[in-house]
Amino acid sequence: MKHPKLILFFCLCLATTGMQTAMAASPKKKTPYKGYRFSLFIYGNTDSIMYLGNYYAGGTYAFDTARISPKGMFVFEDKERELKPGLYFFTNPSGNYVEFAVYGNEKLNFHFDTEEPGWQNNMHVKGSKENELLFRYHQINRRIYKTIDSVKSFMTDSNEFEAFRRKQLARMDSLKMSIIESNPNSLLSLLMNATREPAVPTEDTNGNKLSSFQRWEYYMDHYFDYSRLDDDALIRTPDMIFHKRLNYYLDVCLKNAPSETIIKYVDKLIDKARPSKENFRYLVHTIAEKYLQSNIMSYDAIYVHMVNKYIASGDCFWMSPTTIDNNVKRAEIWEKLLLGKPAPPLIMRDDKGQVQSLYNLNHKYTLLVFWSPTCGHCKTAIPELYQRFAQYRDKYDIAAYAILSEPDDHTRPLWHEFIKNHNLDWINIDGGEANIDWHEVYDVETTPQIYLLDKDKKILAKKLSANTFEEVLRAIEHIE
């Protein structure tokens, strides 16, 4: 089943009247009861099927189905299944939906009734104080926005209307803080807090003006201050509550940051989430996978760090021994290929049968290339790379050690033909016989793979293309 995209009303500012005393703070215990029974009646409903689902990180998942009873009721019941804390929803094939909370220590025996249209705004619930607060929030929030819309229809002075609108939004923000303070242990407060932005100061405690970098550091240090990273419910919320905020933190706030800076902030984030097994698991998996797949050459160090600190240490309780071993093995290989590390020595024969040692090339720079004429991308990338190499080889003393990555009887004739047709006048290496298993040592799973080494064969750059090779060289040599 394809589920409709679900949108959380919490993105709207809170508006309520007298809500701050709507319910007492929920108990801190958040372990759900085993088994559940939810009944739903919708006045005016014409659908015969209803689905029950939950959010998880960036997705929505339906896990139960109910058919309408002769009395017009949808009943979801499972005496064995345990529902974990978070935001759940009912939805039908027509795309209508309504969200509700599973949180605290409430027994999961709720009855909901509403009417068409507008399930969320007409909802009533029995058996759940959490959801009484939730639905009252939606209803009053909607009334405030309707008031703003109605005033707009007759208030002709745009400045006057804007002042009215700002006043209402400021009042709503104030009341939002009231409900958070009065109901700190509710799911509603958790959701509202999770999207709060830190207030970044412009001056330090001595009155000195903060630089833009200092303000950025403050923002990064306090970005998740209001998010309950230690609460399992956070992962079962709509994507803008946690999933998208995490991506924004990594992709925007930390964009192009040095690997050591990213490591500093992700460690701090993961440490805050340790009390929650689910959030800890999600963060470690997401961050490790992100930097495993990154095409930024220096970010290999982040993946290596994630494996050494969290996976090899035994913290990843959800991983199988095989998965752990595979990650650890890859990290061990990558750690030897990090920027600044010496390239593993290579001794192989060239296309004329002569022995060639990588470390015997006494040049200022060496291009180390793994490629094959059967690789579709190599067919365009290698000639482009060679053109850049030929352009700069003499002026900047560059050698090239270009290895055939598929040294078999089928590929070798194609390799010789490709070398001839494209005049690849660099050291062409047949990878069939070598001093090491270079496929494993250099982690050559895809081609082309291109490294730039310095005079001591230390890795200056990797994951290069023809263009990025030229960009790196021009930056190192200060070429205008």
170 pLDDT band (50/70/90 cuts)? confident
Q: Determine the topology of domain 9-154 in CATH.
A: Immunoglobulin-like (2.60.40)
* 8 A C-beta contact, residue 413 and residue 404: no
Burial code of 66-80, b = ≥16 C-beta within 10 A, e = fewer?
bebeeeeebbbebee
What is the C-alpha separation between 152 and 144, in angstroms, rounded? 13
Phi, psi of 466 (to 5 degrees): -60, -45
Record the tokens describing residue 476, joined without a space: 């190192």
For 53, the enclosing helix (H) or strand (E) is strand 49-56
**Backbone phi, psi, residue 339, to 5°:** -55, 135
The pLDDT confidence band at residue 165, using thresholds 50, 70 and 90, is confident
d(CA 32, CA 12) in angstroms, rounded, equals: 28
Give the orientation angle of helix 158-182 with respect to helix 129-154, to 10 degrees. Answer: 170
Q: H or E element: which one contains 49?
A: strand 49-56
pLDDT, residue 153, reads 75
CA distances from 101 to 50, 51, 82, 380 (A): 18, 16, 14, 55
Listed range (4-13, 159-168, 303-312, 433-442) with the worst mean pLDDT: 4-13
Q: Indicate left, alpha or beta for 478 from its phi (over 0: left) and psi (-120 to 50: alpha).
A: left
Residue 83 Cα distances to 31, 131, 227, 373, angstroms? 9, 16, 22, 54
Could you give the CA distance from residue 100 to residue 120 in angstroms, rounded to a whole number?
A: 9
CA dist 97 → 59, 61, 89, 200 (Å)? 15, 13, 7, 37
Neighbouring C-alpha atoms within 13 Å toward the C-beta of 188: 31
> Does the N-terminal peptide bond of residue 27 adopt cis geometry, omega within 30 degrees of 0?
no
With beta carbons less than 8 A apart as the criterion, state whether 428 and 402 touch. yes
pLDDT, position 229? 97
Residue found by looking up tokens 């659908």 in the block? 47
| 106-116 residue pLDDT tens | 999 999 999 98
Residues 6 or more apart whose CB falls under 8 angstroms from that of 147 comprise 168
Q: Which residue did the predictor score with more confidence, 252 or 160?
A: 252
Weakest mean pLDDT among 48-52, 155-159, 238-242, 292-296: 155-159
Q: Does residue 320 sit in helix, strand or coil?
A: coil
Q: Which of 181, 225, 170, 201 shows the shortest CA–CA distance to 13?
A: 170
The more confidently predicted of residues 28 and 376 is: 376
170: exposed, middle or buried (Cβ count in 10 Å: 0-12, 13-18, 19+) = exposed
Which position has the token pair 């507008």?
118
Q: Could you report the per-residue pLDDT of 237-280, keeping only the tens digit for each?
A: 999 999 999 999 999 999 999 999 999 999 999 999 999 999 99
Segment 177-217, tens digit of pLDDT: 888 888 999 999 999 999 999 999 999 999 999 999 999 99
pLDDT of residue 179: 81
Question: Above 90 in pLDDT, residue 446?
Answer: yes
Record the tokens describing residue 401, joined without a space. Answer: 């050690």
Same fold, 9-154 and 347-477: no
**Residue 156: per-residue pLDDT:** 76
Strand partners, 476: none
Per-residue exposure over 190-200, b if at least 16 CB sit within 10 Å of its own CB, e if not: bbbbbbeeeee
List all residues 6 or more positions away from 291 whose beta carbon is below 8 Å from its beta carbon.
262, 299, 300, 302, 303, 306
When the pLDDT of each residue in the chain is averaged and rounded to a whole number, the result is 90
Of all residues in the chain, the percent with pLDDT exceeding 70 is: 93
Residue at 387: amino acid letter: Q
pLDDT value of position 30: 52
Condensed to tens digits (0 to 9), the pLDDT of residues 396-411 reads 999 999 999 999 999 9
Rounded to an integer, what distance in angstroms lies between the CA atom of residue 366 and that of residue 384?
Answer: 17
Contact 136, 22 (CB under 8 A): yes
Are 334 and 304 spatial neighbours (Cβ–Cβ below 8 Å)? yes
d(CA 159, CA 122): 34
Q: What is the pLDDT, as a whole number, of residue 121? A: 84
Give the pLDDT confidence score for residue 14 in this predicted structure.
34
How confident is the model at residue 12, as a pLDDT?
Answer: 36
The dotted CATH code for 347-477 is 3.40.30.10
Does the pLDDT value for residue 287 go beyond 90? yes
Domain residue spans of the chain: 9-154, 212-335, 347-477
pLDDT class of 306 with cuts at 50, 70, 90: very high
Predicted confidence band of residue 226 (pLDDT cuts 50, 70, 90): very high
Confidence band of 415 (pLDDT split at 50, 70, 90):
very high
Average pLDDT over residues 378-386: 97
Return the amino acid letter for 61: Y
Q: What is the pLDDT of residues 453-479, one digit of tens each?
A: 999 999 999 999 999 999 999 999 988
